[in-house]
Amino acid sequence: MSTVTKQYLGYIAPEFASVDDERFNALKATAEEFVNEDLFKTRTNYAVALYIAHMLKIGQGQGVTGEISERRVGEVSEKYQTSISTITGSTGLSQTSYGKQYLEVRKSIVRTPLINS
C-alpha cells in the first residue's frame, strides 16, 4: 500500500492540491489497484500520485470519450458516458499528461528477459 498524501499529490500535480479528502481517498484506493508495489518498488508513490492526477484530469472532462448518452439540439449539447476501462486502460492513460507520465514510469520498470541464442 502506498503512502501518498494530498500534500505529495500537490507536489506532483499542483492543480489538484486542494482536492477534498473523500475524493482523494477514493481515487487513491482505485489507483492502488493498478499500481503493483512489488513491481514499482521505490516508484510506487510517484506512480500512484500520477494515476490519481490522471483520474482527476479525466474527471475535469479533458480527454473524455465514449458512447453518447445524451444529445440536445437546442443550444447544442452532448454528454458522454465514460467507462472505468477507458480511463484506466493504456489508451485512456495516454489521454492526459499525467497518464502519459505514468506509462513512462511503468515502461521504465518492466524488464524483458534476455534470451541467448
- Please work out, in degrees rounded to the nearest 5, the angle formed at the alpha carbon of residue 115 by the alpha carbons of 109 and 117: 160
Q: Supply the pLDDT for residue 63.
A: 45
Q: Supply the pLDDT for residue 95.
A: 87
Whether 53 contacts 9, CB under 8 Å: yes
Q: Supply the pLDDT for residue 86.
A: 47
Task: List per-residue pLDDT tens for the chain, 117 residues long.
Answer: 789 999 999 999 999 999 999 999 999 999 999 999 999 999 999 999 999 999 999 888 644 444 445 556 666 665 555 444 445 556 688 889 999 999 999 999 876 666 776
* pTM across the whole model: 0.72
Q: Supply the pLDDT for residue 74.
A: 65
Residues 31, 69: Cα–Cα separation, whole Å: 26
Residues 51, 72: Cα–Cα separation, whole Å: 33
Q: Supply the pLDDT for residue 1.
A: 76
- C-alpha cell read off for 26: 477514493
HEC profile of the chain: CCCCCHHHHHHHCHHHCCCCHHHHHHHHHHHHHHCCHHHHHHHHHHHHHHHHHHHHHHHCCCCCCCEEEEEECCCCEEEEECCHHHHHCHHHHCCCHHHHHHHHHHHHHCCCCCCCC
Q: Supply the pLDDT for residue 70.
A: 56
